[in-house]
Copies of this chain bind each other. A is one copy, B any other.
């Protein structure tokens, strides 16, 4: 297990080298913590660290200042080696008592607390139920506490910037960033450039922010705060950028449009945490991307399906409650056998649940959430960057097999970021399609005459003379596609629809596992737990514990060798952020006993806890 920054090393000496550090910035919604974290991340990425970030938004837009509900946080884990999880914070920057209260429990014992003392007044303390001041009552004794009057120092520092006092005060996040930049040897220039550009129209504000940033840095130096260094990580050669899951999804979808030579059409209705995909895609009109904010989720998928009928790459994005509403149209899409990508960015349920938190609890809904026998393929992304792959893969399957595909992501992946090795466009798969252009039975066109190999039906789009045809949700006669109430035909069509999806198992990557051949326990995951499970297994193996891990990226159908892989092990452990949904699928499909580890706390697994639970399960 690699050591963490926090404990030890308090003396100002030469910058001490650390393999990895986890910092969490926390403050009021209005305190700009997301921006602060983002800047720190950006500089760290450019410096060459590997990193994983995790924002934590409040559910309220802007709850009352100083309240627990209003706390906004951003966590960054950066390192000199390849890392997989957001980690456990060793450093907490808390801009007010609420931020301290909401986050203290997560900080490592002995970690650093960097506190804005100006905000620890009676009113703010009472608001969150501190009966005495933690700065004074000894309750923080087991941490390294840095008490810094950030607000007042910021106000001092911005005098002369031309900004008003209120504006100036709002720069205190940059003061905090300055302090941290000193402590972790991050350059200020990129952020200064960024600020000057961002506030190019409001010079006084740019000045205030820059002044605060510099003041924070100077404070660190003057006060001789400990200073550390985290060297760049060794990553595969190439060009990198930072990317969040939702951004990677948007890019992956655009790539799918380019690689399929189909115009992209997104029908969507805003919902947390999926809205950003809509926002992102709406910007790329020069790629011929059409985005339509529909009146609701039903209309959104209906529009995407209409676009698919007319030859576009039809996409709809949503989260759980929206997926519920799309059920009926998904069934229609299955019946019409048109390509369609439905992206569900899972969040805490049931119902409105915990809308800003993560969960993996829509898997069985994606599998079975439609009336009738209505199978469809399911692909799951497993990290922010993997969303790019997942989007392309979903498009490939949808287009090749003429079927709607559900892509599952989750809130943690969506908002989290990591460095991304930018792919070479030339090496992206060619997923171009051929529209039907000719009659296929004498002079007639049969819209349900299937391809022998893929069982896909031909895609003839309006505008193609001679291929005029009608499709609909009533059962269709095999081949002609005319309405058919014939019992045997219905049985046949049901089988064909199922066989078509099942056969995709031949066309996807086999399931791989890593871990020694003699491991007797396999940890099987899917989706956003990829990083945590990987890190935990890595740690366990480093300690000589025989454990292997495999991660499913296709949930339906599963890779053909899945059963075979699972049967190699004595025990299959399935950790999920739900009550055991993959577990159910594995048991039903393979009749293999599984051990479930379930957690529905709206958060990723804690790696410490997962490690302990797994440890107990290894014989």
Cβ contacts under 8 Å, A369 to chain B: 324, 327, 365, 368-371
Closest to A474 in B: B352
Q: A351-B332, A591-B587 are in contact. Are A367 and B370 (CB under 8 A)?
A: no
With beta carbons under 8 angstroms apart, the residue of B474, B491, B578, B585 that contacts A373 is B578
In angstroms, Cα B331 to Cα A319, docked, is: 14
Task: Decide if A498 touches B335 in the complex (CB within 8 Å).
Answer: no
In angstroms, Cα B327 to Cα A365, docked, is: 10
Q: Is A549 an interface residue (CB 8 A)?
A: no
Cβ contacts under 8 Å, A11 to chain B: none
Task: Decide if A324 touches B327 in the complex (CB within 8 Å).
Answer: yes
Q: Is A359 an interface residue (CB 8 A)?
A: yes
Closest to A364 in B: B368
Q: A361-B373, A365-B368, A368-B364 are in contact. Are A494 and B600 (CB under 8 A)?
A: yes
With beta carbons under 8 angstroms apart, the residue of B335, B356, B372, B601 that contacts A491 is B601
Task: Decide if A351 touches B334 in the complex (CB within 8 Å).
Answer: yes
Expressed in whole angstroms, the minimum distance between the Cβ of A377 and any Cβ of chain B is 15
A569-610 vs B, CB cutoff 8 Å, 1 = contact: the mask equals 000000000110000110111010100000111110000000
Cβ contacts under 8 Å, A359 to chain B: 372
Contacts of A474-518 to chain B: CB distance below 8 A = 474-475, 485, 487-488, 490-491, 494, 497-498
In angstroms, Cα B501 to Cα A579, docked, is: 14
Q: A320-B371, A321-B371, A324-B327 are in contact. Are A491 and B599 (CB under 8 A)?
A: yes
Cβ contacts under 8 Å, A355 to chain B: 474
**Interface window among A156-164, A226-234, A342-350:** A342-350
Expressed in whole angstroms, the minimum distance between the Cβ of A347 and any Cβ of chain B is 8
Q: Is A353 an interface residue (CB 8 A)?
A: yes
Expressed in whole angstroms, the minimum distance between the Cβ of A321 and any Cβ of chain B is 5
Task: Decide if A374 touches B354 in the complex (CB within 8 Å).
Answer: no
With beta carbons under 8 angstroms apart, the residue of B370, B589, B600 that contacts A350 is B370
Closest to A327 in B: B324
Q: Which residue among A332, A588, A593, A603 has the maximum number of chain B CB atoms within 10 Å of its CB? A: A588
Expressed in whole angstroms, the minimum distance between the Cβ of A181 and any Cβ of chain B is 31
In angstroms, Cα B357 to Cα A69, docked, is: 52
Task: Decide if B353 touches A372 in the complex (CB within 8 Å).
Answer: yes
In angstroms, Cα B353 to Cα A336, docked, is: 11
Q: Is A362 an interface residue (CB 8 A)?
A: yes
Task: Decide if A491 touches B600 in the complex (CB within 8 Å).
Answer: yes
Q: Is A323 an interface residue (CB 8 A)?
A: yes
Q: Is A328 an interface residue (CB 8 A)?
A: yes
A169-194 vs B, CB cutoff 8 Å, 1 = contact: the mask equals 00000000000000000000000000
Q: Is A423 an interface residue (CB 8 A)?
A: no
Q: Is A292 an interface residue (CB 8 A)?
A: no
With beta carbons under 8 angstroms apart, the residue of B350, B485, B497, B599 that contacts A354 is B485
How many monomers of this protein are in the complex? 2
In angstroms, Cα B373 to Cα A359, docked, is: 10
Task: Decide if B374 touches A350 in the complex (CB within 8 Å).
Answer: yes
Cβ contacts under 8 Å, A373 to chain B: 349-350, 361, 578-579, 600
With beta carbons under 8 angstroms apart, the residue of B356, B374, B603 that contacts A487 is B603
Q: Is A462 an interface residue (CB 8 A)?
A: no
Closest to A325 in B: B328
Expressed in whole angstroms, the minimum distance between the Cβ of A372 and any Cβ of chain B is 2
Contacts of A361-412 to chain B: CB distance below 8 A = 361-362, 364-365, 367-374
In angstroms, Cα B359 to Cα A374, docked, is: 13
Cβ contacts under 8 Å, A319 to chain B: 371
Cβ contacts under 8 Å, A348 to chain B: 372, 475, 490
Q: Which residue among A325, A357, A372, A485 has the maximum number of chain B CB atoms within 10 Å of its CB? A: A372
Expressed in whole angstroms, the minimum distance between the Cβ of A170 and any Cβ of chain B is 26
Task: Decide if B354 touches A490 in the complex (CB within 8 Å).
Answer: yes
Cβ contacts under 8 Å, A361 to chain B: 371-373
Q: Which residue among A334, A365, A488 has the maximum number of chain B CB atoms within 10 Å of its CB? A: A365
Q: A328-B325, A473-B352 are in contact. Are A368 and B371 (CB under 8 A)?
A: no
Expressed in whole angstroms, the minimum distance between the Cβ of A456 and any Cβ of chain B is 17
Cβ contacts under 8 Å, A327 to chain B: 324-325, 327, 369
Contacts of A491-550 to chain B: CB distance below 8 A = 491, 494, 497-498
Cβ contacts under 8 Å, A356 to chain B: 485
Cβ contacts under 8 Å, A43 to chain B: none
Q: Which residue among A321, A365, A371, A475 has the maximum number of chain B CB atoms within 10 Å of its CB? A: A371
With beta carbons under 8 angstroms apart, the residue of B69, B352, B353, B475 that contacts A353 is B475
In angstroms, Cα B599 to Cα A522, docked, is: 37
Cβ contacts under 8 Å, A488 to chain B: 601
With beta carbons under 8 angstroms apart, the residue of B69, B371, B485, B600 that contacts A324 is B371
Closest to A600 in B: B494
Q: Is A59 an interface residue (CB 8 A)?
A: yes
Q: Which residue among A328, A350, A475, A494 has the maximum number of chain B CB atoms within 10 Å of its CB? A: A350
Q: Is A129 an interface residue (CB 8 A)?
A: no
12 contacts between A and B (CB under 8 A): A321-B371, A331-B349, A336-B351, A349-B370, A349-B373, A353-B474, A353-B490, A354-B474, A354-B475, A359-B372, A365-B371, A367-B368
Interface residues of A (CB under 8 A from B): 59, 69, 319-321, 323-325, 327-328, 331-332, 334-336, 344, 346, 348-357, 359, 361-362, 364-365, 367-374, 472-475, 485, 487-488, 490-491, 494, 497-498, 578-579, 584-585, 587-589, 591, 593, 599-603
Please provide the 4 A-B residue pairs with the shortest distance between their CB atoms, ordered closest to farther.
A349-B372, A320-B371, A351-B473, A487-B601
